Structures are given as C-alpha cells and as structure tokens.
Amino acid sequence: MSDIFEQVKEVIADVMKLDLSSVEITEETRFVEDLNADSMDQFFLIDGFCEKFDVEISDEDAREIRTVGDVVKQLEK
C-alpha cells in the first residue's frame, strides 16, 4: 500500500473518530455507504486531506470522490 493511502487512512480515522485496529479501510471503502459519512463529515474529510497534503481539491473534484481510492488518485495527480 502506498504512503499516501496510509496517510489518507489516518485523516479518515481522525475525522471520523475511528479506531483503525477495529475498522478495515481499503481503497474500495465508500465514505457514505461504508463509513456512514454525512455531508459535514465529507466536508471535514476534504478539508483534512487538503491540510495534510497541502493541496487544493476543487468543489468539482470533491463531488467526484466516493471512495478512499478516489482520494488517493486525486492526491497522486
């Protein structure tokens, strides 16, 4: 797994208050369906990724993010 993926998981765990030892997060994990993220959670997740990786994710790109893998691909651009 990539270093970006591991850092993305850390942001998700922090924002969603998850214990990574008891929750499996893969690149296929969906934010809404699998992690029960609501619209505010999604906003804070995008904000967390931007802060952690020192990048800007446009609103248009953010709307396309559905899975953890989508975030990793976005950050690898």
| CATH number of the domain within which 33 lies | 1.10.1200.10
| Model confidence at 56: pLDDT above 90 | yes
Residues 6+ away with beta carbon under 8 Å from 19: 13
Q: What is the pLDDT of residues 31-42, one digit of tens each?
A: 999 999 999 999
Q: Establish whether 38 is a catalytic residue.
A: yes
Output the pLDDT for position 1.
Answer: 55
Q: What is the pLDDT of residues 4-15, one digit of tens each?
A: 999 999 999 999
d(CA 15, CA 45): 6
Give the mean model confidence (pLDDT) for residues 16-36: 96
The total number of residues written for the chain in this structure: 77
Domain that holds residue 46: 3-76
| Model confidence at 77: pLDDT above 90 | no
- Active-site hit among 19, 38, 54, 59: 38
**Using H for helix, E for strand and C for coil, what is the string for the chain?**
CCHHHHHHHHHHHHHHCCCCCCCCCCCCCEHHHHHCCCHHHHHHHHHHHHHHHCCCCCHHHHHCCCEHHHHHHHHHC
Rounded mean pLDDT of the chain? 95
How many distinct structural domains can be found in the chain?
Answer: 1
